[in-house]
Structure 1
């Protein structure tokens, strides 16, 4: 398949449908797919017959497992610039979704990780199901959470976002809603009903001469979703917030690990052991990125910071090694450099926040 076929678009009633169509690759995003989504959204923004957008994934496994990290791996090995160009367009798409002038409905069914969060969790109406598995697992491949992930997680309750960003732990529907990554729970077997009902409702609204105001259209969309929504199976993060807040409030990753081991809660020990499998450099850069993101005022400013961090990661040995271990060879035994948290200096962390040689994300225009 070419990139055009990897993003299917059509109109159903008054709804523009975007379907990510690489099911054998868990709908992982290529540069061409990012461009295809952006072009469809731009066309529908100008089309008065499209009142809302729905994004979903083909196949049974999920919306999107992230960016095409095999392509990033090959690019990083040869020192190319394709990854920087991909991230530039991907992060611009994330910002566009967040400010899209028509209701943007995301079906976050199944696996939704990394770049999948970027094309869904910035939307206005975000639906999770009993099958949802949401995560920002970048530290496991030597990368810092991106696609606006540090913006979302830095604004989660207490230190829960720090826990999710550093460990990359997967959360289900209830926890995704509680963290602010999603809005509604709908059983997976009712999603097609939501899709059909939205098309019918907005087709009827068009025929009835509904004014083109976003507030009115959003009201129709939310009323339809509410008819199908229910209560998600119970999560665990709210109950764990006591030890999470106490441990992750520390100033350094080393102290976070010490607090987790000393807490006494089995889940805290498990989190500590998970952290010690992640890239030490990525962990320290991620903690700094999250803390800085809390003080940045807009999604765009956080995406700019993430672009710098992602470009910096391309120059590290850990990114290539992390992808090799998790995706290429799948031995799950990365050899990080340095291999210990104590070996990561402040200067190495600071390098993640320097403007890359390719320039900033926005080219001076926001």
Structure 2
């Protein structure tokens, strides 16, 4: 278990400590321990929609429950807005010391409901679709800078937007049912919700690989590469939840130790993509999407099936998305979370705008609406995606599209100086430290998981 505990040490360093002392309206608190229905702040919200975000409480622990199982808890504008309201209130409440989030049904959260964004665009309501991304990223930033411990119970599918409400938090608990992926390139989008921040900090070039290929990871994989901090068998989650609810503490060390009590030793499966670390680093360390493809094509002669499988995955993605994703992840290595989210917002808005390419609309149609899985990408190949097209995706959002994403950085991270990039000296030190820690974590994980 010492080796397993070593895998989780990084989570404690990410905790930003300091419980908010602002007074809360105690009369609004429900003192029973049963799940309660939340009334929407919008009087026009139907009861059925309001039921899709539930809460529970156990003494000083608040629990947010995603309750849209028929859609694998996919997030809409209502969901992200309501979650941000709850999290803001709980952070201000001095009686709340720990926040847990989980999902009902087979999935934790399958991501944002981009099919809804697609339909809004087709109905001439593009601004509403853009508003979803804005509110979602604000929620991601709130969780990434949360002043209280946060535990995400990742029992089932956790993809896309589901990672944005979990990976940025203090603790991420995976199970044998966990399935992680960032499949955005297959619908003409890009890994967002702060993915360019956490993918860029994974060992070697694993982040580029996951972002470009949409390769899936299981719970053991997530622990091995630090996307998850703990592995708890699903049949113990209810007991874990009760244990956490009884702690009455905001000490991350105590919380981590409590989760440890329910952990299990996990092993990488034979098919784990993490066994292909050498091939991943060799291919996805190349400077461009075209070079990555050429390197993989050259590997086909070796007879190693990984090369063909990886090439097939790349071909499913939008060529524009591949180039945008590669650049986004690499820019993320020298940026803070808020900068990554602001950049990703630009990419998402321009994807919806479709000035140079309608790949987002076409990808949603082919994969999520018509489900023929035969998108017609434009441009059709990476070679035809010009630097002008890529540069535009990273350009500032004009006022006609709602303007840039504003985040309360000075309020939540007063020690961070806002700039286009983190200072160069900090970037070098942080990158070296990240690499040393990642490599140490990687080799420690192999000792424990194999």
Q: TM-score range by the shorter chain?
A: over 0.9
Q: Does 1:273 pair with 2:312?
A: yes
Q: From the superposition, tell whether residues 349 and 132 of structure 1 become closer, same or farther in structure 2 (CA, over 3 Å).
A: same
Q: Does 1:73 pair with 2:118?
A: yes
| Aligned equivalent of 1:175, options 212, 221, 233 | 221
Displacement after TM superposition at 1:79 (Å): 5.8
Once residues 305 and 148 of structure 2 are traced to their aligned partners in structure 1, the CA distance between those partners, rounded to angstroms, is: 45
TM-score (norm 2): 0.76
Displacement after TM superposition at 1:46 (Å): 2.1
Q: Is the 8 A contact 2:126 2:352 kept in 1?
A: no
Q: Is the 8 A contact 2:118 2:129 kept in 1?
A: no
Once residues 228 and 28 of structure 1 are traced to their aligned partners in structure 2, the CA distance between those partners, rounded to angstroms, is: 28
Match in the other structure for 1:208: none
Once residues 148 and 285 of structure 2 are traced to their aligned partners in structure 1, the CA distance between those partners, rounded to angstroms, is: 38
Q: Does 1:239 pair with 2:280?
A: no
Match in the other structure for 1:211: none
| Aligned equivalent of 1:323, options 354, 361, 364 | 364
Q: From the superposition, tell whether residues 275 and 55 of structure 1 become closer, same or farther in structure 2 (CA, over 3 Å).
A: same
Match in the other structure for 2:108: 63
The root-mean-square deviation of aligned C-alpha atoms, in Å, is 1.5
Q: Is the 8 A contact 2:338 2:407 kept in 1?
A: no
Once residues 284 and 348 of structure 1 are traced to their aligned partners in structure 2, the CA distance between those partners, rounded to angstroms, is: 10
Match in the other structure for 1:209: none
| Aligned equivalent of 1:11, options 57, 74, 77 | 57
Q: Does 1:223 pair with 2:223?
A: no
Match in the other structure for 2:206: 160
Match in the other structure for 2:138: 92
Once residues 163 and 151 of structure 2 are traced to their aligned partners in structure 1, the CA distance between those partners, rounded to angstroms, is: 13
| Aligned equivalent of 1:139, options 146, 168, 185 | 185
| Aligned equivalent of 1:126, options 172, 181, 199 | 172
TM-score (norm 1): 0.93
Q: Deviations over 1:230-275 (max 9, x none)?
A: 1223152332110100001111111101111222331122111110
| Aligned equivalent of 1:308, options 341, 346, 356 | 346
Q: Deviations over 1:6-43 (max 9, x none)?
A: 11012112210100011101100011111111111111
Q: Structure 1: where are the runs of 5+ without partners?
A: 206-213
Displacement after TM superposition at 1:183 (Å): 0.6
- After TM superposition, the structure 1 = structure 2 runs for residues 188-203 of structure 1, keeping only pairs within 5 Å, are 188-202=234-248
Displacement after TM superposition at 1:150 (Å): 1.1
Once residues 162 and 190 of structure 1 are traced to their aligned partners in structure 2, the CA distance between those partners, rounded to angstroms, is: 34
SS in 2 for 1:81: helix
Match in the other structure for 1:112: 158
SS in 1 for 2:311: helix
Once residues 202 and 393 of structure 2 are traced to their aligned partners in structure 1, the CA distance between those partners, rounded to angstroms, is: 23
SS in 2 for 1:295: coil
Displacement after TM superposition at 1:2 (Å): 4.0
Q: Is the 8 A contact 2:156 2:177 kept in 1?
A: yes
Q: Structure 2: where are the runs of 5+ without partners?
A: 1-46, 411-450
Q: From the superposition, tell whether residues 129 and 345 of structure 1 become closer, same or farther in structure 2 (CA, over 3 Å).
A: same
Once residues 220 and 153 of structure 2 are traced to their aligned partners in structure 1, the CA distance between those partners, rounded to angstroms, is: 15
SS in 1 for 2:261: helix
Displacement after TM superposition at 1:126 (Å): 0.5
Once residues 240 and 68 of structure 1 are traced to their aligned partners in structure 2, the CA distance between those partners, rounded to angstroms, is: 32
Aligned residue-pair number: 352
SS in 2 for 1:360: coil
| Aligned equivalent of 1:22, options 53, 56, 68 | 68
Q: Is the 8 A contact 1:151 1:290 kept in 2?
A: yes
Once residues 103 and 167 of structure 1 are traced to their aligned partners in structure 2, the CA distance between those partners, rounded to angstroms, is: 32
